[in-house]
Structure 1
Amino acid sequence: MIVLILSCNQNQPKNNNEHIESTNGTVRLKYTTGVRSILEDSKGNIWFGSYQEGVCLLQNGKLQYFTIENGLSQNQVRNIYEDKNGIIWFECGTGISSYDGNKMAKFTKRNYTAKKNWKRNKNSIWFKGNEREGYNKFEGDPGVYEYDGKELSYRTFPVKTIAGKENQYSVSTAFVRGKNAIWFGTYGAVIGYNGKDFKIINNETLGLDGKTAYFHARSIMEDTKGNIWIANNGLGVLKFDGEKVINFTKQQRLNKKDTKGNSLEKVFSIGEDKSGNIWFGTVGSGVWRYDGKSVKNFTKEDGLESQHIWTIYKSKIGELWFGGANPSGVYRFNGVSFERIY
């Protein structure tokens, strides 16, 4: 069965709905709910997805804002991707939209006829389920959508929902195309697919019972050495080297009970800079940097105003950009301190 629903938002945004602002100097996003996603596309444009206010395009020194009135499926923009044809894709809280350089439109065509047809296609883009939480009647079971450049097809994970934990396998992170596998982060698990088999990391495999800690993935990253880093909201940071999983937060004694202050427990984002340092963005405890030997904490005193770092994005020239909330903004580290850049 192929389900096709025609979108009523296929037209280019009308002038009365557009918000185009000439920056003439310092660029400052007007978001108040936070910068949740970032993409620097192949044309040099920069896209900023917000938590609840749509997406913004920085092009030729001008900011252009798009919301549901202009073709976005929802104003929460979790992830932004570019396909091999230069089309920009927006994974929203509900649904998906795309931008072809002229117009923003909802992408509503779905194929549900080959749910177990898993392959490692190097150019595929993967998206969360169509709902904010859980799965609609066409999806049925936990899984992801694969866009192979032609169609959007649903693939189911080799897992089943548990009564009372229906959201456990809802995708909560951007996908990672690793050296040996594709990785997906869900609220209750991280799932890897290597082209043949699946690797599942969750409460059961980690021996967690939910009383003292439970799996809650918010970001995943593969570093240049092939390690998988997992950001958890509450559990801290996990590191998977291909054989075993260690609790990095516990290993470094960065739990709140050990630090008596800022901790590496509520982690929402992870990035690696061009020197190989690993960076962690938290809620309420600033940003942490691991240089392979020690960990350093950066906070308001270091110029980092945002208290919730949603995303860490590596730009085309290798800079790390930190998108945050409370207050909203995008920051970079200049080698000494943080400075707001957008």
Structure 2
Amino acid sequence: MKLKLNNQYILNLFCTLLIIVNISCNNRNLSDKNNQLGQTKTDIKLLKFTSGVRSFLEDTKGNIWFGSYNEGVCLLHNGKFQYFTTENGLSHNQIRNIYEDKNGVIWFECGKGLSIYDGKKIIIYKERNYDLTKHWKLNDSDLWFKGDEIEGYNKLENNPGVYQYDGKKLSYRTFPVTPKSEDERRFGYAISTPFLKGKNGTIWFGTYNALIGYNGTNFKIITDDYLGLQKENGFLHIRGILEDSKGNLWIANNGKGVLIYDGKEAINFTAKQKLTKEDTKGNSLDRAFSLGEDSKGNIWIGTVESGVWRYNGNSVTNFTKKDGLDSKQIWLIHKSKNGELLFGGANPSGVYQFNGKSFERKY
């Protein structure tokens, strides 16, 4: 009887030890898993820019370029960030737009001047041609850039216009416009958006006070006068343009809101949706800054101070800090090569993506 009790005791003890070991292993595995998750989150690489992400490019070699408001440009290559400023060959630390030409050369449209990256180093691009400023002709691989000044035009440019790079040389082309005032000379026809190539081949240029299109033969110039805008109902202040999948042109205005141009007339989307400051007590859609369209046909609108808005064809939804979007100003909306939209912001700086419900910081 005593032997049976001892055996039973040993059996119970063994079972108890087995349970303790199992619980300990499970706790350790859970702890390891939590540590791995925490490490993964810590390892997410974030840009060190503080002034805002203003431009973006995925090049043909798989690199990603980020342009800042006043801190130069950053290259993401093989998981590592490399930063460049005027000390490394940029003509200016503000990077308005970034393009890649047919030869794989990266072009930086800076606040002042242009710089290029040839795969090894960044240098200031100084060659200019002013011989045929009115000789407009379109080529399939053209790149277009704003004038060399932060605002207005210099003595060599002489009139509002753009630089055209045809793959061989950079030439200045003047717009068929005549500034009516000093403010228009300094500001009105200065390029304020990336150039846009429409589905019908028309090249569109967003300037602060006009949208200018050229189809290879004729110009289309949409101004305040064309739209019937006056001081009472707000002037144009264009900061973003988009041609949607239906062929409509969307115009983002910092102050006027969003306009939609169907080729014949323009409607005020902000007013139609009753999202002006007068219509809303909270966030409004008056200060629109950037535009994008996702793979489902939703139109996304980035603003100053009121987050991002999504239009699904019927209703408009607003996303702000409560939805993970910390940046108060969305400089750009970029559709990546895999079809996702990336949102570059400022205050604070960062690049975000939408996960279907909310925003997450990606860079």
Q: TM-score with structure 1 length normalisation? A: 0.92
Q: Does residue 1:269 correspond to 2:287, yes or no?
A: no
**Partner residue in 2 for 1:293:** 314
Q: Does residue 1:185 correspond to 2:203, yes or no?
A: no
CA deviations 1:233-252 (Å, max 9, x no partner) are 00000111111111111111
**Partner residue in 1 for 2:59:** 41
- For the residues of structure 2 that align with 1:196 and 1:179, how far apart are their CA atoms? 16
Q: 2:118 is aligned with what amino acid? A: D
For residue 24 of structure 1, report the CA deviation from its aligned partner.
8.9
**Residue ranges of structure 1 left out of the alignment (5+ in a row):** 1-22
**Partner residue in 1 for 2:196:** 176
Runs of 4+ in 1 over 6 A off after TM superposition: none
**Partner residue in 2 for 1:240:** 261
Higher strand share: 1
- For the residues of structure 2 that align with 1:308 and 1:121, how far apart are their CA atoms? 35
For residue 224 of structure 1, report the CA deviation from its aligned partner.
1.4
Q: 1:24 to 1:109 in 2, by over 3 A?
A: farther
**Partner residue in 1 for 2:44:** 26
- % of aligned pairs identical? 65
For residue 259 of structure 1, report the CA deviation from its aligned partner.
1.5
After superposition, residues 59-74 of structure 1 pair within 5 angstroms as: 59-74=77-92
**Partner residue in 1 for 2:4:** none
Q: In the alignment, is the contact (CA less than 8 A) between 1:331 and 1:338 conserved in 2?
A: yes
Larger Cα-atom Rg: 2
Q: Relative contact order (C-alpha < 8 Å, sep 6+): which is higher?
A: 1
For residue 212 of structure 1, report the CA deviation from its aligned partner.
3.4
Q: In the alignment, is the contact (CA less than 8 A) between 1:24 and 1:61 conserved in 2?
A: no
- For the residues of structure 2 that align with 1:65 and 1:205, how far apart are their CA atoms? 44
CA deviations 1:142-161 (Å, max 9, x no partner) are 00000001000000101011
Q: Does residue 1:54 correspond to 2:72, yes or no?
A: yes
After superposition, residues 284-323 of structure 1 pair within 5 angstroms as: 284-323=305-344
**Partner residue in 2 for 1:18:** none
**Partner residue in 2 for 1:92:** 110
Q: 1:49 is aligned with what amino acid? A: G
- For the residues of structure 2 that align with 1:281 and 1:264, how far apart are their CA atoms? 9
- For the residues of structure 2 that align with 1:44 and 1:239, how far apart are their CA atoms? 34
Q: Does residue 1:139 correspond to 2:153, yes or no?
A: no
- For the residues of structure 1 that align with 2:246 and 2:137, how far apart are their CA atoms? 24
**Residue ranges of structure 2 left out of the alignment (5+ in a row):** 1-40
Higher helix share: 2
SS in structure 2 at match of 1:250: helix
RMSD over aligned Cα, in angstroms? Answer: 1.1
**Partner residue in 2 for 1:252:** 273
For residue 211 of structure 1, report the CA deviation from its aligned partner.
3.5
- For the residues of structure 1 that align with 2:168 and 2:64, how far apart are their CA atoms? 25
After superposition, residues 186-225 of structure 1 pair within 5 angstroms as: 186-225=207-246
Q: 2:249 is aligned with what amino acid? A: I
